[in-house]
A and B are shown apart, each in its own frame.
Chain A
Amino acid sequence: MNADARPVMKPLDSSVGSLDAMKAVFTRDMKVAFRQRQDLLNPLLFFVMVVTLFPLGVSPEVSFLREAGAGILWVAALLSVLLSLDHLFRHDFDDGTLEQLVLQSQPLFLLVLAKTLAHWMLTGLPLVLLTPVLGVMVHLEGNSIAVLCLTLLIGTPVLSLIGSIGAALTLGLRSAGVLLSLLIIPLYIPVLIFGTGTVAAAADSAPVGGYLALMAAFLVLATTLAPFASAAALRISLSNA
């Protein structure tokens, strides 16, 4: 890795507003990610490959894929987000950037929120954009694909937000990857249930408004509460190191 691949997080003046600080963290994370493009592609490739396994491993029948397609895509997206979560704080932890973040005069949970948002833009959003192609490949109908994209659009930020708690808790541990999945998957289950439930309702041409409202409620709850938990967990992990 060349020297300037990871720009340093400079200490921000206390006169800098919280919003500007969030923007600084966000742009830095985006810059770092685009200087290491392979890391951006990996979760997407993983997503496509997991989805490919189902027609090959279970059944390529159109009826089966149409029935199970939404669930397969959701599970694959969930696993792919889970896989990418380890990167959320790991590099910053290794090179000391994270300590700089904790030392900033801005509230840590806002900076964590900015980092999580960047993480979603880099992993969740590409997954959503790729979904229509895979949706066609698993023979979903147009309406179902649209609803599926919408649920993933609301759902993947929730995955990133909840995941950030787990990533912060397991920071600096050996075998963090498996432990991270162990801690986070139980918390992902409700999102998965409602995400796929929405698509199933849409396929039966039942109203999906209620489902979407619940998913949005998950998003609001996760956005307001998860950064606090992640910030607390980060402080604990840093004091441990």
Chain B
Amino acid sequence: MWQFFHKLGSPKWFFGIATRLMPWLLVGGIALLMAGVIWGLAFAPKDYLQGNSYRIIFIHVPTAFLAQSAYVMMAVAGVVTLVWRMKLADVFVKAVAPVGLVLTFLALFTGAVWGKPTWGTWWIWDARLTSMLILLFLYGGVIALDRAINDEKSAARAVAVLVLVGVVNIPIIKYSVEWWNTLHQPATFKLTEKPTMPAEMWVPLLLSILGLYLLFGWLACLRMQTEIMLREQRTRWVRDLVMAGRN
């Protein structure tokens, strides 16, 4: 177990593992996401209240889910950076922040598209929406701070502190629909309770969430590999790798 942990700290070892893992993540992710989205969009029953317009849930919920979960993962990596000074944790934060930004934007965008037919407005200053907007700003701040500091090590630790400070927003997003009486509907999924939707609705939703998780993993690996190659460009193994790829 500890050996595994130590190996995980080595960029070279991670690079190899990621290369082997990525095809599985990509194929599995696409398959699950396609299955979930096609099932959801074409075959799932109509909602008794919202009709067909609810179907954007199969895109909206996965992106919103991943946007928050990516931030939590970044916060965990931030702790690892500060406590154990593990290089890969920092690479992860750096690689994932822009992905999180895009996911948050997509969640807000699909939410707006969903809000227009159901609430009659693109945007409303509701607690869930506002806290998601703050999440978007937080991702922006993380990226901006990372770009502003030239020294790699200080950038890593400064960003880790900022990510950890911003994590207070995550429970606010999570509970915003329960603490405040808002327009946004309560959480679709709860881990501890049985879903209130029929299985034909929540199974495809679960499939698309899992699919997006796998795709996210693939993208994170890809971006981390790029970052590792940039950072380790002077080492022998990266040079060998690039030369091997050229032949």
Residues of A bordering B, CB below 8 Å = 162, 165, 169-170, 173-175, 179, 182-183, 185-187, 189-190, 193, 229, 232-233, 236-237, 239-240
- B52-60, B63-71, B93-101, B147-155: which lies at the A interface? B147-155
Complex interface: chain B residues within 8 A of A190 (CB): 172
Q: Quick one: which of B92-121 are within 8 Å of A by CB?
A: none
Complex interface: chain B residues within 8 A of A179 (CB): 144-145, 148
Complex interface: chain B residues within 8 A of A173 (CB): 148-149
- Does B130 sit within 8 A of A, measured CB to CB? yes
Assembly CA distance A170 to B82 (angstroms)? 18
- Does B134 sit within 8 A of A, measured CB to CB? yes
Assembly CA distance A156 to B134 (angstroms)? 20
Q: Quick one: which of B159-199 are within 8 Å of A by CB?
A: 161-162, 164-166, 168-169, 172
Assembly CA distance A193 to B166 (angstroms)? 17
Q: Find out whether the CB atom of A183 lies under 8 angstroms from the CB atom of B144.
A: yes
Q: Which single member of B148, B158, B161, B165 contacts A187 (CB below 8 Å)?
A: B165
Q: Find out whether the CB atom of B145 lies under 8 angstroms from the CB atom of A169.
A: yes
Q: Which single member of A174, A187, A236, A239 contacts B166 (CB below 8 Å)?
A: A187
Q: Give the Cβ gap from B184 to chain A, nearest Cβ, in Å.
A: 16
Interface-centre pick from B158, B166, B168 (highest chain A CB count, 10 A)? B158
Q: Give the Cβ gap from A98 to chain B, nearest Cβ, in Å.
A: 15
Residue on B nearest A184 in the bound complex, by CB: B141
Q: Give the Cβ gap from B3 to chain A, nearest Cβ, in Å.
A: 30
Known contacts A170-B148, A237-B154, A189 near B130 by CB under 8 Å? yes
Q: Find out whether the CB atom of B130 lies under 8 angstroms from the CB atom of A169.
A: no
Residue on B nearest A235 in the bound complex, by CB: B157
Q: Give the Cβ gap from B146 to chain A, nearest Cβ, in Å.
A: 11
Assembly CA distance A160 to B114 (angstroms)? 39
Q: Find out whether the CB atom of B134 lies under 8 angstroms from the CB atom of A165.
A: no
Q: Find out whether the CB atom of A236 lies under 8 angstroms from the CB atom of B157.
A: yes
Known contacts A179-B145, A182-B141, A169 near B161 by CB under 8 Å? yes
- Does B138 sit within 8 A of A, measured CB to CB? yes
Q: Which single member of B149, B161, B166, B169 contacts A232 (CB below 8 Å)?
A: B161
B interface residues, how many (CB within 8 angstroms): 23
Known contacts A179-B144, A186-B166, A233 near B158 by CB under 8 Å? yes
What are 18 A-B contacts defined by CB distance under 8 Å? A165-B162, A169-B158, A170-B148, A173-B149, A179-B145, A182-B141, A182-B144, A183-B141, A183-B162, A186-B137, A186-B138, A186-B166, A186-B169, A189-B130, A193-B130, A229-B164, A232-B157, A236-B154
Q: Which single member of B82, B145, B149, B168 contacts A183 (CB below 8 Å)?
A: B145
Q: Find out whether the CB atom of A189 lies under 8 angstroms from the CB atom of B134.
A: yes
Residue on A nearest B143 in the bound complex, by CB: A182
Complex interface: chain A residues within 8 A of B28 (CB): none
Complex interface: chain A residues within 8 A of B164 (CB): 229
Complex interface: chain A residues within 8 A of B140 (CB): 182
Residue on B nearest A178 in the bound complex, by CB: B144
Complex interface: chain B residues within 8 A of A193 (CB): 130
Q: Find out whether the CB atom of B148 lies under 8 angstroms from the CB atom of A229.
A: no
Assembly CA distance A186 to B158 (angstroms)? 17
Q: Give the Cβ gap from B141 to chain A, nearest Cβ, in Å.
A: 4
Q: Give the Cβ gap from B74 to chain A, nearest Cβ, in Å.
A: 15
Q: Which single member of A162, A182, A183, A239 contacts B154 (CB below 8 Å)?
A: A239
Q: Give the Cβ gap from B204 to chain A, nearest Cβ, in Å.
A: 34
- Interface pairs A-B: 9 shortest CB-CB: A240-B154, A186-B137, A183-B141, A236-B157, A186-B134, A236-B158, A233-B161, A173-B148, A169-B158
Q: Give the Cβ gap from B104 to chain A, nearest Cβ, in Å.
A: 12
Assembly CA distance A22 to B161 (angstroms)? 24
Complex interface: chain A residues within 8 A of B172 (CB): 190
Complex interface: chain B residues within 8 A of A169 (CB): 145, 158, 161-162
Assembly CA distance A233 to B157 (angstroms)? 8
